[in-house]
Amino acid sequence: MPRPRSTVRWRLTLLYSCLFLLCGAALLAITYEFFIKFAFSYPPKAGPGQSKLGILDQALGSVRDAYLHRLLLSSGIALGIMALVSGFVGWVVAGRVLAPLRTITAATERISDSNLHQRLAMQGPRDELRVLADTIDRLLERLETAFEAQRRFIANVSHELRTPLAMMRTTLDVASAKPGGVPRQTRELDAELRTDLDHADQLLESFLTLARAQNGQHVERDQVALEPLVAASLAARADQIAAKQLTVRTQIDAVETAGSTTLLARMIENVIENAVCHNRQGGRVKLRLTLVSGEQVRMIVDSSGPLLDQHAVAQLAQPFKRLSQDRTGSQNGHGLGLSIVAAIAAAHEGSLELHARQEGGLRVQITLPGAAVRQLGKAGP
């Protein structure tokens, strides 16, 4: 039998009941003692050969013993009944005492990095619980300030770094356009530098997208059809899919969601790019875009690959997290792809779930609020 979960409410109820039992037992003991001393104080009992007064005294003693026994029995029954009543009353009282704590817990669980502007704003007398709620509000205010400073820093740095990168690219253009041509070594160096500059541009663009997605109040709320975005992303990676000989199967329903076309397109591109780039040669990709319960759009992308650890997979939505090591860049990406997906989904009041598949590979599931336009169930390579 599983042990019942210990809670503060149960402990307070047990404490109230034990205190009542102790106080009730002490009260009954004191009452019983006083009842013996004062209500039934008689002279010593007479012997059998004494007068009729002695016989009467013996009869009164028997009556006294019977009444005391009944008093003790009825008091014990009353104490037991009141113990049950005190347990119920203690449970109710403990619940009312702990109600503000439940409110604080529920409100705190709803607050995340995307809605740090919310506060508990607890009302009532300034007792210990009110002080606790105000302390949490001040902590949330400090966290909001820190998160906003971080996002502004990422956005500002990304913008500022674009200027020197553009100047470096212009310098390369001027150097490679000199009359009379340039040596072969210079051309090779120019190609390598341009590759690194392209990589830096992509990284900065990822930073900007992440900053815009995390700043949810600036997300447009247009009706966006997701099926064309999925088709465009698959078409853009047709060469990569063919080079890896991947089998791609799709099941797509025409659905819409409210949000930014640019951000949603980037989210879908990152998910499909992750499924293609981190897949094995000759692997599979299965993509499903469906409407769930008439209110939510769900996109599931299953990709083949090696067996993964679920604990490590759950951290992939954090910036610069990779399954092998934490790093800021490689030939296969920057470590920002799925973190951008998580930020865009959260900005659209959705969620991202990552699961390690039992047969190997990764399952990416995105849930967004949406509505169906028409059903376009289709499947194919």
Domain, as residue range, for 195: 128-176+183-216
Q: What is the pLDDT of residues 87-106, one digit of tens each?
A: 888 888 888 888 888 888 88
Q: Which of 212, 372, 190 is nearest to 295 (CA)?
A: 372
The CATH number of the domain holding residue 266 is 3.30.565.10
Token couple for 177: 């356009």
pLDDT at site 3: 54
Q: Count the alpha carbons within 13 Å of 292 in the hemisphere toward its beta carbon.
A: 12
pLDDT above 70 as % of the chain: 78
pLDDT at site 40: 55
Integer angstrom CA distances of residue 159 from 98, 163, 188, 204: 50, 8, 29, 8
Q: Are residues 351 and 251 in the same domain?
A: yes
Distance CA 248, CA 112 (A): 36
Distance CA 318, CA 336 (A): 8
pLDDT at site 376: 42
At residue 378 the predicted structure's pLDDT band, cuts being 50, 70 and 90, is very low
The residue with greater pLDDT, 188 or 180, is: 188
Interval 59-76 mean pLDDT:
75
Q: What is the pLDDT of residues 225-284, one digit of tens each?
A: 999 999 999 999 999 999 999 999 999 988 999 888 878 888 999 999 999 998 999 999
| Inter-residue contact 299 to 268 (CB < 8 Å) | yes
pLDDT at site 328: 35
Interval 41-55 mean pLDDT:
56
pLDDT at site 377: 41
The last residue of a domain, from among 216, 238, 266: 216
pLDDT at 49 over 70: no
Amino acid at 147: F
pLDDT at site 171: 83
pLDDT at 372 over 70: no
Is the alpha carbon torsion for 57, 63, 66, 72 positive or negative? negative
pLDDT above 90 as % of the chain: 17
Q: Are residues 199 and 314 in the same domain?
A: no
Number of domains in the chain: 3
Residue 132 counted as domain residue: yes
Q: What is the pLDDT of residues 318-344, one digit of tens each?
A: 655 555 443 334 445 555 678 888 888
pLDDT at site 50: 53
Residue 344 counted as domain residue: yes
Q: Are residues 248 and 145 in the same domain?
A: no
At residue 213 the predicted structure's pLDDT band, cuts being 50, 70 and 90, is low
Interval 299-327 mean pLDDT:
73
The CATH number of the domain holding residue 187 is 1.10.287.130
pLDDT at site 290: 92
Q: What is the pLDDT of residues 154-179, one digit of tens each?
A: 667 767 777 788 888 888 888 777 77
Q: Are residues 88 and 152 in the same domain?
A: no
Q: Which of 1-5, 141-145, 245-249, 377-381 has the lowest mean pLDDT?
A: 377-381
> What average pLDDT does the structure give for the chain?
78
Q: Are residues 252 and 367 in the same domain?
A: yes
- Spell out the long-range contacts of 130-139 with Cβ–Cβ below 8 A and sequence spacing 24 or more: 132/104, 133/100, 133/104, 136/104, 136/108
Interval 43-59 mean pLDDT:
59
